[in-house]
Amino acid sequence: MQIDLSTKILNIRLSNPTILASGVMGVSGAACVYAAKKGAGAIVPKSLGPKEREGHANPVLVEFDKGFLNAVGLPNSGVDNSLGEIEFAMKNAGVPVFPSLFGGTKEEFGYVAERLSTLNPQMLEINLSCPNTASDFGEAFALNEKAAAEVIRIVKSKTKVPIIAKLAPNVPDIKKVARAVVEAGADAISAINTMPGMVINVDVARPVLHNRQGGVSGPALKPVAVNCVYEIHKAVKVPIIGIGGVTTGEDAVEFIMAGACAVEIGTGIYYRGIDVFRKVTAEMEEIMQRNGYSSIKEMVGAAHK
Amino acid sequence: MERPKIIRISGIKDEAEGIKTIFLRHSMVAKPGQFVMLWIPGIDEKPFAVSYSDQKKGEIGLTVAAVGPFSNRLSSMKEGDKVGIRGPYGRGYNLGKNSKQLVMAGGGYGSASLTMLAEEAVSKGCNVKFILGARSKARLVYADRIKKLLGSGNLIITTDDGSAGIKGFVTDALKNLFKAQKVDRVYACGPDRMLKAVSDICNENKIDCEVSIERYMKCGFGLCGHCCVDPIGIRACAEGPVISSAQAAKISELGSYHRVKSSRKEKL
């Protein structure tokens, strides 16, 4: 049977449904291209903000038995210094590049979106949900559906580029946030960001991460994430990109059956190597073969029946 | 598990002006050229090449030059103080199968990993010449250790100001060595511009060469992407830090710029 592993988000075709997740690897244009050459179907670079940020001191990543905890703190050189990097990635990756952005205020989200839109990307991912900047920004925007919708409205007023709203898992009802951002104009949703967590070193009696708190990623996050995607799929009609612990083809298919049309992979790079994208895609093909699916589309939301 | 293990400092040795080695009882097997992440809880965590490894004693040494807030803090620590360590990470040097005539080209405290490599090479029967460069005599590290290992005839010292050995750069001594003897392989570690120059000279002379590159590292195990180099995108911590001079020739930023903590490019 001929198996088609390509997928579509809105009208954008991806040769396979694995996307490099924001925050991992994609610090520079060259790093994005490197991940693309290792098989990623699309690239979401590291989030850019309005101004240069150093991020947190080390350690910014620590492992526990079922995943990682990170608090990198959104280091970036500021959108104006970074346009060249995004341009390099768009020119050389050979796959779609969806720049990710954040701001400390609604207006800053709008400003960064406007600047990035000058490059004409196919989509922008709006990072409403990074949990690691609380000391600067207070509550993440994605934790409050009104705040999230407000950001989306402002971004939509500043750009014609389709936007993906990236949601947080740690809310009482993610369906409410999903509905609010879609009503405000979000063209797609990616879910989820990391979940707040902490790892303490008992020999020095302090958290390992310099920021003390961080976000849980990797296998521990996966069932939480699959459930969020399932819930969002029930609530809204826009395309969903699943994120959270995708390490194998089976993980990716779970997300797709919950309602995603593509998945982002970050921490999986640690477990499977930088060519995790190629490996996951090959494993998906095997699962599709085994179960008689010939396209990704046939599997989207299959678990809802 | 990628998390720091807490160990008390077991010894401290003065190496040169502002340069010390911190010893830790830790039975870690690190190849020369690999690095570890050293954590001072509450301060920061930075990469260090392993400069001493005594597996019988179960002890490793990390050499630190007091140049910034972190290294100053580390330099002021005492025996018994707690630090965290994780690793080893990255790719170390490869002793080629048929390489007998080796040259180590070390600049400043970059000689740490090369001194360990020289020890391994000697134990495998290779002939080693060591070019040891520093700004001045007071900043020379490991000269006695290398002399003891190789004999003084195999140590070539260069200083920028001529206060010890030959006045000049590591690259000058390397070019002279190419004229004077057969060289199978060159290993270099030191400042970026020196690495670029050594790599170029070896490529021009068609001599195998490996260089150990240094970039701002955060996670150390290939996930954060901070140490990816332009334009080929490989990670200094995972595909490096030791790379071939053929790879080095493809890295346009080598000897030219690096990325600071935010990821902004900064000229060297």
Contact A12, B214 (CB under 8 A): no
When CB atoms are compared, the residue of A68, A88, A201 closest to B4 is A201
- The mean per-residue pLDDT over the stretch B154-173 comes to 96
Mind telling me the catalytic residues of A? 130
Q: Could you report how far apart the first and last alpha carbons of chain A are, in Å?
A: 24
Type and span of the H or E element at B144: helix B143-150
All CATH 3.40.50.80 domain ranges of chain B, comma separated, are 101-267
Give the sign of the dihedral formed by CA A249, CA A250, CA A251, CA A252: positive
Query: For B201-224, how does the pLDDT look when each residue is reduced to its tens digit (9 = 90+)?
Result: 999 999 999 999 999 999 999 999
Distance of alpha carbon A27 from alpha carbon A107, whole angstroms? 24
State whether residue B52 is helix, strand or coil.
strand
Q: How confident is the model at residue B98 (pLDDT cuts 50, 70, 90)?
A: confident
Phi-psi domain of B4 (left: phi exceeds 0; alpha: psi -120 through 50; beta: other): beta
Domain boundaries, chain A: 7-304
DSSP lists the bridge partners of residue B38 as B46, B85
Q: How confident is the model at residue B117 (pLDDT cuts 50, 70, 90)?
A: very high
CB atoms within 10 A of CB B125: 7
* Residue B27: predicted pLDDT: 85
State whether residue B138 is helix, strand or coil.
helix
How confident is the prediction along chain A (305 residues), in pLDDT tens digits per residue? 799 999 999 999 999 999 999 999 999 999 999 999 999 999 999 999 999 999 999 999 999 999 999 999 999 999 999 999 999 999 999 999 999 999 988 999 999 999 999 999 999 999 998 665 544 456 789 899 999 999 999 999 999 999 999 999 999 999 999 999 999 999 999 999 999 999 999 999 999 999 999 999 999 999 999 999 999 999 999 999 999 999 999 999 999 999 999 999 999 999 999 999 999 999 999 999 999 999 999 999 999 99
Chain B residues 226-265 with a CB less than 8 Å from chain A: 226, 228-235, 238, 259-265
Size of interface A-B (CB pairs under 8 A): 128
Nearest CA distance, A138 vs chain B (angstrom): 21
All CATH 2.40.30.10 domain ranges of chain B, comma separated, are 5-89
Report phi then psi at A12, rounded to 5.
-95, 125
**Is B91 part of the contact surface with chain A (CB cutoff 8 Å)?**
no
Smallest CA–CA distance from B228 into chain A, residue? A31
* Residue A135: predicted pLDDT: 40
Contact A173, A189 (CB under 8 A): no
Q: What is the CATH number of domain B101-267?
A: 3.40.50.80
Strands A188-191 and A240-243: parallel
Contact A260, A229 (CB under 8 A): yes
> Cβ B44–A210 below 8 Å, yes or no?
yes
Nearest CA distance, A99 vs chain B (angstrom): 16
**Is B6 part of the contact surface with chain A (CB cutoff 8 Å)?**
yes
* Residue A137: predicted pLDDT: 52
Q: What is the CATH number of domain B5-89?
A: 2.40.30.10
Q: CA-CA-CA-CA torsion for A154, A158, A163, A168, nearest 10 degrees?
A: -30
Contact A62, A68 (CB under 8 A): yes
Distance of alpha carbon A24 from alpha carbon A217, whole angstroms? 11
Phi-psi domain of A244 (left: phi exceeds 0; alpha: psi -120 through 50; beta: other): left
Distance of alpha carbon A123 from alpha carbon A105, whole angstroms? 21
State whether residue B254 is helix, strand or coil.
coil
When CB atoms are compared, the residue of A29, A30, A60 closest to B219 is A60
Contacts of A150 (CB under 8 A, 6+ apart): A106, A141, A184
Q: Which of B95, B103, B246, B254 is nearest to B174 (CA)?
A: B103
Q: How confident is the model at residue B96 (pLDDT cuts 50, 70, 90)?
A: confident
Q: Half-sphere exposure of residue A146, counting CA atoms within 13 Å on the CB side?
A: 0
- Predicted-assembly ipTM surpassing the 0.90 threshold: yes
Sheet of A262-265, strands arranged across:
A42-43, A18-20, A262-265, A240-243, A188-191, A163-167, A124-127, A100-101
Q: Which of A131, A127, A95, A92 is nearest to A16 (CA)?
A: A95
* Residue B190: predicted pLDDT: 96
For chain B, how many residues are written? 268
Distance of alpha carbon A173 from alpha carbon A95, whole angstroms? 34
Assign a CATH topology to domain A7-304: TIM Barrel (3.20.20)
Contact A162, A123 (CB under 8 A): yes
State whether residue B116 is helix, strand or coil.
helix
SS3 for chain A, per residue?
CCCECCEEECCEEECCCEEECCCCCCCCHHHHHHHHHCCCCEECCCCECCCCECCCCCCCEEEECCEEEECCCCCECCHHHHHHHHHHHHHHCCCCECCEECCCCHHHHHHHHHHHHCCCCCCEEEECCCHHHHHHHCCCHHHCHHHHHHHHHHHHHHCCCCEEEEECCCCCCHHHHHHHHHHCCCCEEEECCCEEECCEECCCCEECCCCCCEEEECHHHHHHHHHHHHHHHHHCCCCEEEECCCCCHHHHHHHHHHCCCEEEECCHHHHHCCCHHHHHHHHHHHHHHHHCCCEHHHHCCHHHC
Distance of alpha carbon B11 from alpha carbon B9, whole angstroms? 6
Radius of gyration of chain B (CA): 18
Nearest CA distance, B75 vs chain A (angstrom): 18
Q: Could you report how far apart the first and last alpha carbons of chain B are, in Å?
A: 35
Calculate the alpha carbon distances from B32 to A5, B89, B101, B222 in Å. 43, 11, 18, 19
> Cβ A270–B234 below 8 Å, yes or no?
no
Strands A42-43 and A18-20: parallel
